[in-house]
């Protein structure tokens, strides 16, 4: 590997996911290609939460916000917590997809917005398999 290849890997990558309908949330941090922190919680299913890596200095004993009700302590890791975690790294979650430009990885094709990509994809598609006419 040349020096420029190594420099490309010297970066931080944060991956987030939130599915509010199923009440599942995900946050991970990779540094220089190595996973440093991973948190995954799904409240709507019989699911073993993932709490991988050393906790960040801003975290509680357990990932999420601490809530106390009737002397019981519970930690809630949800969309608001993902926003707080991202904020700690100087990032803001993108919620309006029609205002952002992005590039599809492994492709030279550049789209103006996610909405434009979906419209282009629909226009390029042939008729569905279930249509006979």
Which residues of the chain have a pLDDT value below 50?
1
Per-residue pLDDT at 78: 92
- pLDDT tens sequence across 81-105: 999 999 999 988 877 667 666 655 5
Per-residue pLDDT at 82: 93
Backbone dihedral region for residue 82 (phi beyond 0: left; psi -120 to 50: alpha; all else: beta):
alpha
CA dihedral 69, 75, 77, 79 (to 10 degrees): 30
Per-residue pLDDT at 60: 84
Per-residue pLDDT at 11: 82
Per-residue pLDDT at 86: 92
Give 64: exposed, middle or buried? Use CB within 10 Å, 0-12, 13-18, 19+: buried
Per-residue pLDDT at 46: 84
The neighbour count for residue 85, using CB atoms within 10 Å, is 23
Per-residue pLDDT at 45: 80
């Amino acid at each position: 590997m040349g020096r420029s290849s190594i420099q490309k890997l010297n970066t931080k990558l944060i991956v987030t996911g939130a599915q509010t309908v199923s009440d599942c949330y995900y946050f991970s941090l990779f540094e220089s290609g190595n996973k440093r922190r991973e948190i995954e919680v799904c409240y709507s299913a019989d699911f073993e939460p993932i709490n991988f890596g050393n906790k960040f200095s801003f975290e509680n004993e357990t990932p999420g916000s601490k809530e106390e009700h009737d002397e019981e302590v519970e930690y809630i890791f949800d969309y608001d917590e993902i926003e707080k975690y991202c904020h700690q790294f100087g990032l803001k979650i993108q919620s309006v997809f029609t205002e952002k430009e992005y590039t599809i990885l492994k492709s030279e094709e550049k789209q103006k917005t996610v909405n434009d990509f979906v419209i282009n994809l629909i226009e390029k598609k042939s008729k569905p398999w279930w249509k006979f006419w």
